[in-house]
């Protein structure tokens, strides 16, 4: 019998730790997620079922993966110094995404703002030491959030090449040795009472596109003036809590800024490739689980007294699905290779326009193939497609949200056009 491990990937640049991470996460998924997954949608508000699964994955009493990026001498695993950081992230996104893409998002988004201070060459040792105990010494899952999206501009904040942060309304004012932050964010993953640490993109001069006026400041959730709203009820992604986040005269030490003028804008641009590679990993993981469900269905259901998979029309559809999974998995790891510093093949820094355009292209392609293939699978299953017994409909709802975030198809296409066609106004 074939399995998900038969799908190709570029073995020559896979992390030596890959098989260990994959084995551990797959065992966790089998025990803590897959038996309960169909009930997660109704648990979107309380997380009574979801929280123990996160604890088993992230906290010290479980696999302890939430401390992976922190330096070893601070209690972490030191993966922020690894030459394989992107490839390991893709592996984790894929394996957790196979179990539940929303869990993968909430878990991986915890790493997202931390990459700006824990991954070489941008380690901020003082902030790493400040926040390490929060993540490395806890027997409960600890979540961080990138508090980026704002009501008036949505994902415009990501469009740094064109806008340079001039749509940001959340302000940071230096008062002595403290930053005073005011503003409103909405939709960040790991808000709605979940997040304990926020990476907050701010402006020191409203309307400015000067990179020196862009500030990325870390704010613990328990600081006075931070308010988290309740969770949104969404079409899917039940294990990923999103809500509103308000900052009202929030004061944090001046050294809670990630790096300083100019450098903050640079590391923020590098956040985007992490999100794009992670998104591809989530989608590939979901498609691999789709393959598992589909394999069982077409092998055990019959048409014309033969297994359904032996029907020419069905075989054409499922063959196309398998082909797309094959291609998308290779592309996801190629995207990770572009990010990893050990052998970055294009010779450009991670924040460059070329790297962003190429990764946007890959993410857009993988999103389209995933959405199309879950639709095809629904057709193969017929009336069983929307039946919750098969989990196809759950993935189907979840992955559409992945296609929409980070500016959706539009920003992917605009950045690709900007780079490849030298567009000046996009």
In this predicted structure, the answer to whether residue 367 has a pLDDT above a threshold of 60 is yes
Q: Give pLDDT tens digits for 129-186.
A: 999 999 999 999 999 999 999 998 777 788 787 788 889 999 999 999 999 999 999 9
Give the mean model confidence (pLDDT) for residues 338-350: 71
In this predicted structure, the answer to whether residue 209 has a pLDDT above a threshold of 70 is yes
| Three-state secondary structure of the chain | CCCHHHCCCCHHHCCCCHHHHHHHHHHHHHHHHCCCHHHCHHHCCCCCCHHHHHHHHHCCCCCCHHHCCCCHHHCCCCHHHCCCHHHHHHHHHHHHHHHCHHHHHHHHHHHHHHHHHHCCCCCCHHHHHHHHHHHHCCCCCCEEEECCCECCCEHHHHCHHHHCCCCCCCEEEEECCEEEEEEEEEEEECCCCCEEEEEEEEECCCCCCCHHHEEEEEEECCCCCEEECCCCCCCCCCCCCEEEEEEEEEEEEHHHECCCCCHHHHHHHHHHHHHHHHHHHHHHHHHHHHHHHHHHHHHHCEECCEEHHHCHHHHHHHHHHHHHHHHHHHHHHHHHHHHCCCCCCCCCCCCCHHHHHHHHHHHHHHHHHHHHHHHHHHHHHHHHCCCHHHCHHHHHHHHHHHHHCCCHHHHHHHHHHHHHCCCCCC
Rounded to two decimals, what is the model's pTM? 0.96
- Are 110 and 239 in contact by the 8 Å Cβ rule? The answer is no
Burial class (CB in 10 A: 0-12, 13-18, 19+), 371: middle
Token pair for 366: 């993988």
- Between residues 351 and 311, the one the model is more confident about: 311
- Residues of the chain with pLDDT > 90: what percent? 83
Backbone angles phi, psi at 3, to 5 degrees: -145, 175
365: Cα separation from own chain's centroid: 17
Q: Determine the angle formed by the axes of helices 18-28 and 85-99, rounding to 10 degrees.
A: 20
Residue 320: the pLDDT is: 97
Other C-beta atoms closer than 10 Å to the C-beta of 63 total 17
Give the mean model confidence (pLDDT) for residues 330-346: 81
Q: Give pLDDT tens digits for 233-243.
A: 999 999 999 99
Candidates 3.10.129.10, 1.20.140.10, 1.10.10.10, 3.40.190.290; CATH matching 264-420 = 1.20.140.10
In this predicted structure, the answer to whether residue 287 has a pLDDT above a threshold of 80 is yes
Write down the mean pLDDT value for the chain: 94
Rounded to whole angstroms, the Cα distance separating 330 from 358 reads 14
Backbone angles phi, psi at 89, to 5 degrees: -60, -40
- Are 286 and 399 in contact by the 8 Å Cβ rule? The answer is yes
- Burial call 345-354: b when 16+ CB within 10 Å, e when fewer: eeeeebbbee
In this predicted structure, the answer to whether residue 343 has a pLDDT above a threshold of 90 is no
Q: Give pLDDT tens digits for 11-35.
A: 888 988 899 999 999 999 999 999 9
Rounded to whole angstroms, the Cα distance separating 398 from 93 reads 14
In this predicted structure, the answer to whether residue 286 has a pLDDT above a threshold of 80 is yes
- Between residues 348 and 22, the one the model is more confident about: 22
Q: How confident is the model at residue 376 (pLDDT cuts 50, 70, 90)?
A: very high
Residue 3: the pLDDT is: 93
- Are 412 and 360 in contact by the 8 Å Cβ rule? The answer is yes
Give the mean model confidence (pLDDT) for residues 110-129: 95
> Is the domain covering 4-142 a CATH 3.30.200.100 domain?
no
Residue 346: the pLDDT is: 57
Give the mean model confidence (pLDDT) for residues 33-41: 95
**Half-sphere exposure of 97 toward its Cβ, with a 13 Å CA cutoff?**
28
**Half-sphere exposure of 258 toward its Cβ, with a 13 Å CA cutoff?**
31
The Cα angle at residue 341 between residues 188 and 343, in degrees rounded to 5: 135
In this predicted structure, the answer to whether residue 103 has a pLDDT above a threshold of 80 is yes
Find residue 214's DSSP bridge partners. 203
In this predicted structure, the answer to whether residue 342 has a pLDDT above a threshold of 80 is no
Residue 99: the pLDDT is: 97
Residue 293: the pLDDT is: 96
In this predicted structure, the answer to whether residue 78 has a pLDDT above a threshold of 90 is yes
In this predicted structure, the answer to whether residue 344 has a pLDDT above a threshold of 60 is no
Most confident of 291-295, 337-341, 342-346: 291-295
Q: Give pLDDT tens digits for 312-337.
A: 999 999 999 999 999 999 999 999 99
The CATH code for residues 146-260 is 2.40.110.10
Q: Of 109, 126, 101, give the one whose Cα is nearest residue 40.
A: 101
Give the mean model confidence (pLDDT) for residues 405-426: 89
In this predicted structure, the answer to whether residue 347 has a pLDDT above a threshold of 90 is no
Residue extents of the structural domains in the chain = 4-142, 146-260, 264-420
Residue 198: the pLDDT is: 98
């Amino acid at each position: 019998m074939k399995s998900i491990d038969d799908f190709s990937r570029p073995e020559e640049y896979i992390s030596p730790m890959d098989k260990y991470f994959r084995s551990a996460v797959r065992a966790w998924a089998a025990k803590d997620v897959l038996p309960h997954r169909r009930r997660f949608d109704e648990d979107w508000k309380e997380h009574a079922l979801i929280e123990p699964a996160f604890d088993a994955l992230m906290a010290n009493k479980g696999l302890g993966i939430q401390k992976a990026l922190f330096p070893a001498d601070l209690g972490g695993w030191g993966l922020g110094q690894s030459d394989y950081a992107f490839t390991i992230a893709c592996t984790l996104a894929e394996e957790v995404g196979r179990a539940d893409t929303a869990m993968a998002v909430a878990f991986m988004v915890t790493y997202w703002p931390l990459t700006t201070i824990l991954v070489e060459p941008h380690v901020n040792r003082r902030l790493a030491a400040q926040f390490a105990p929060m993540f490395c010494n806890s027997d409960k899952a600890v979540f961080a959030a990138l508090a980026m999206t704002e009501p008036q501009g949505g994902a415009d904040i990501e469009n740094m090449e064109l806008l340079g942060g001039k749509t940001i309304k959340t302000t940071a004012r230096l008062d002595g040795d403290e930053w005073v932050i005011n503003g409103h964010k909405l939709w960040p993953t790991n808000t709605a009472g979940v997040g304990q640490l926020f990476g907050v993109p701010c402006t020191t001069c409203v309307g400015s596109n000067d990179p020196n006026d862009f500030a990325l400041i870390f704010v613990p959730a328990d600081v006075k003036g931070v308010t988290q709203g309740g969770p949104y009820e969404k079409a899917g992604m039940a294990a990923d809590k999103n809500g509103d986040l308000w900052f009202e005269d929030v004061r944090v030490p001046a050294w809670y800024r990630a790096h300083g003028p100019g450098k903050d804008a640079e590391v923020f641009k590098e956040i985007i490739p992490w999100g794009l590679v992670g998104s591809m990993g989530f989608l590939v993981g979901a498609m691999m689980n789709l393959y598992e469900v589909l394999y069982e269905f077409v092998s055990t259901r019959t048409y014309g007294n033969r297994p359904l998979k032996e029907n020419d029309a069905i075989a054409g559809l499922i063959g196309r699905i398998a082909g797309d999974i094959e291609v998308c998995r290779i592309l996801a790891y190629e995207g990770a290779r572009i990010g990893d510093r050990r052998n970055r093949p294009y010779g450009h820094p991670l924040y460059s326009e070329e790297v962003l355009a190429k990764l946007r292209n890959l993410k857009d392609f993988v999103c389209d193939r995933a959405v199309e293939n879950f639709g095809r699978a629904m057709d193969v299953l017929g009336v069983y497609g929307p039946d919750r017994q098969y989990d196809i409909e759950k993935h189907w709802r979840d992955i559409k949200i992945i296609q929409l975030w980070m500016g959706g198809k539009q920003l992917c296409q605009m950045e690709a056009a900007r780079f490849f066609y030298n567009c000046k106004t996009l």
